[in-house]
């Protein structure tokens, strides 16, 4: 089956590599020839490294590269079985290209968007055959991150959902099914990892380095929240938070933070600008965490119960199954454990009492426990994950 990809940026070029490695003929299209040249050169470099490491032989590497053709015209999408769009995150532009693509491809072609924040329903609405449109959301970098969220819109047919999931499974990815709601699974459930870390800092509970230390050393997370925000970029992470907050009709659970807003306004984006929560200049002094176990446990526990609460609420609202919620967080953002499995381990009763203690103290909606958690505690249930 021929696979076409629109947009040769970080995501599109990575997805093209995945599809080609899975044996497909691939067309990678971008309006910007420079981006295509960059994508081609980047793939050649990656392939050379894989050959060097002995993961591929020369023949396999050139086979993967030769299967991808680079084009500036969407007319080359004719005869595709699947088109994945990975262009700029702008609804009007996406709707326009979906309309154009539909005129080029055959009736059976599935049209997918890799959008992180737009609704799939709104993109599908631009097509005559809206039932063939679906969200197929890869994580960055696509060749390395196993998770792919499959997001049917209200218009999407069951056959298209099934076919899409089977195809991406055959690319040896871990697929999860998510409802077409803001942030899908990962970008919704992960909000407190940033938001509560920022809140703890703002309250003066601990500094950036100490919060990062608690989450990595005691929590087992691969990166602390401030290191991760600096890595993603405070401009991008702040915008995502603001978008999710508005999309949830200003639910206080997703309220953005002034600290991050000011860092973004100051141009302290993180690694890419040389300064964020940390200073990345050569030879800059790195702050030492305060390695106080009790303080560390307090930090870890507060961020973790809020993450668990988000995961439980996502299950409560049928965003995804418990199994898929846990897979999403371990395979999409490398969490050390699934949040629901972690909840089972800690004990749902303890999670609930910690949340209720926070709620009683703060009287803020941000700390309200999911009703599903409360019900499960009453019934003495645990999650099947």
User: Using CA atoms, how far apart are residues 35 and 12, in angstroms rounded to an integer?
Assistant: 10
Choosing from 20, 21, 80, 116, the residue that interacts with ligand NAD (CB under 6 A) is 116
Select 6 or 178, whichever has its Cβ closest to ligand NAD.
Answer: 6
Q: Mask 128-147, x = binds ligand NAD (CB under 6 A)?
A: ----------xxx-------
Q: Which of 60, 76, 79, 89 binds ligand NAD (CB under 6 A)?
A: 89
**Would you name the residues annotated as active-site residues?**
116, 137, 149, 187
H or E stretch covering 193: helix 191-202
Across 342-380, b (16+ Cβ under 10 Å) vs e yields bbbeeebeebbebbeebeeeeeeebbbbbebbbebbeee
Which two tokens mark 73?
Answer: 């015209």
Determine, following the binding rule CB under 6 A, whether residue 86 of this chain makes contact with ligand NAD: yes
Asked whether position 370 contacts ligand NAD by CB under 6 A, the answer is no
The least distance separating ligand NAD from the CB of residue 15, rounded to whole angstroms, comes to 9
Could you tell me the CA-to-CA distances from 279 to 136, 258, 270 in Å, in that order? 36, 20, 8
Shortest spacing between CB 156 and ligand NAD, in angstroms = 18
Among 3, 5, 6, 61, contact with ligand NAD (rule: CB under 6 A) = 6
| Interaction between residue 88 and ligand NAD (CB under 6 A) | yes
Give yes or no for residue 105 binding ligand NAD (CB under 6 A): no
> Least distance from C-beta 119 to ligand NAD, angstroms?
12
Query: Which residue's entry shows tokens 């960059």?
Result: 38
CA distance 256 to 348: 28
**Plot region of 224 (φ>0 → left; ψ -120 to 50 → alpha; else → beta):** beta
Burial (CB count <10 Å: 0-12, 13-18, 19+), residue 42: middle
Q: Is 76 in the site for ligand NAD (CB under 6 A)?
A: no
Residue with the closest Cβ to ligand NAD?
Answer: 9
Of 32 and 159, nearer to ligand NAD (C-beta) is 32
Least distance in angstroms from the C-beta of 320 to ligand NAD: 17
Which region, judged by CB under 6 A, interacts with ligand NAD, from 6-14, 191-199, 300-308, 324-332?
Answer: 6-14
- CB closer to ligand NAD out of 183 and 224: 183
Query: What is the distance of C-alpha 224 from the center of its chain?
Result: 17
- Residue with Cβ nearer ligand NAD (140 or 159): 140
The verdict on whether omega for the bond into residue 333 sits within 30 degrees of 0, i.e. cis, is no
Nearer to ligand NAD by Cβ, of 85 and 196: the residue is 85
Q: Is 30 in the site for ligand NAD (CB under 6 A)?
A: yes
Residue 361: CB minimum distance to ligand NAD, A: 36
- Which of 4, 21, 114, 164 is close enough to bind ligand NAD by CB under 6 A? 114
The Cα–Cα gap between 240 and 263 comes to 15
Q: How far is the CB of 374 from ligand NAD (least distance, A)?
A: 34
**Which CB sits closer to ligand NAD, 86 or 305?**
86
Q: Does 93 bind ligand NAD (CB under 6 A)?
A: yes
DSSP string, 94-115: HHHHHHHHHHHS-TT-EEEE--
**Rounded Cα gap, residues 322 and 311, in angstroms:** 8
Beta bridge partners of 44: none
Nearer to ligand NAD, 151 or 209 (CB): 151
**Contact letters (x/-) for ligand NAD, 175-214, by CB under 6 A?**
----------------------------------------
Residues with Cβ within 8 Å of 103's Cβ and at least 6 positions away in sequence, in order, are none
Residue 259's nearest CA partner among 202, 196, 299 is 202
Q: Which single residue is written with the structure tokens 């076409």?
A: 4
Residues that bind ligand NAD (CB under 6 A): 6-12, 30-32, 35, 86-89, 93, 97, 114-116, 138-140
């Amino acid at each position: 089956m021929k696979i076409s990809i629109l947009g040769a940026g970080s995501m599109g070029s990575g997805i093209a590599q995945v599809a080609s490695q899975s044996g497909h003929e691939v067309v990678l299209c971008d309006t910007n020839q420079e981006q295509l040249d960059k994508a081609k050169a980047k793939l050649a470099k990656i392939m050379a490294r894989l050959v060097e490491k002995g993961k591929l032989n020369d023949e396999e590497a050139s086979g993967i590269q030769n299967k991808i053709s680079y084009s500036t015209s969407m007319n080359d999408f004719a005869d595709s079985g699947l088109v994945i769009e990975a262009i700029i995150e702008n609804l009007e532009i996406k709707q326009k290209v979906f309309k154009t693509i539909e005129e080029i491809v055959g009736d059976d072609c599935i049209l997918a968007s890799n959008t992180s924040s737009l609704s799939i329903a709104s993109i599908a609405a631009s097509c005559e055959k809206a039932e063939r449109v679906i969200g197929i959301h890869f994580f960055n970098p696509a060749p390395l991150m196993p998770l792919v969220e499959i997001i049917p819109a209200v218009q999407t047919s069951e056959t298209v959902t099934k076919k899409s999931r089977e195809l991406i499974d055959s690319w040896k990815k871990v697929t999860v099914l998510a409802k077409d709601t803001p942030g899908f699974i990962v970008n919704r459930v992960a909000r407190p990892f940033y938001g509560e870390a920022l809140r703890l800092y703002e309250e003066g509970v601990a500094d950036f380095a100490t919060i990062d230390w608690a989450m990595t050393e005691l929590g087992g997370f691969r990166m602390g929240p401030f290191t991760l925000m600096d890595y993603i970029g405070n401009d991008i992470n702040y915008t995502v938070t603001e978008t999710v907050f508005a999309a949830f009709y200003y639910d206080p659970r997703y309220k953005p933070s002034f600290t991050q807003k000011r860092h973004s306004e100051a141009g302290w984006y993180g690694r890419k600008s040389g300064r964020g929560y940390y200073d990345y200049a050569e030879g800059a002094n790195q702050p030492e965490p305060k390695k106080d176990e009790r303080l560390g446990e307090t930090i870890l526990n507060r961020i973790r119960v809020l993450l668990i609460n988000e995961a439980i609420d996502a299950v409560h609202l049928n965003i995804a199954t418990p199994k898929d919620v846990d897979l999403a967080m371990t395979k999409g953002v490398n969490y050390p454990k699934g949040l629901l499995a972690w909840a089972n381990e800690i004990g749902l009763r303890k999670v609930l009492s910690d949340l209720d203690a926070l709620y009683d103290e703060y009287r803020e909606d941000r700390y309200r426990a999911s009703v599903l958690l409360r019900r499960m505690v009453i019934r003495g249930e645990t999650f099947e994950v």
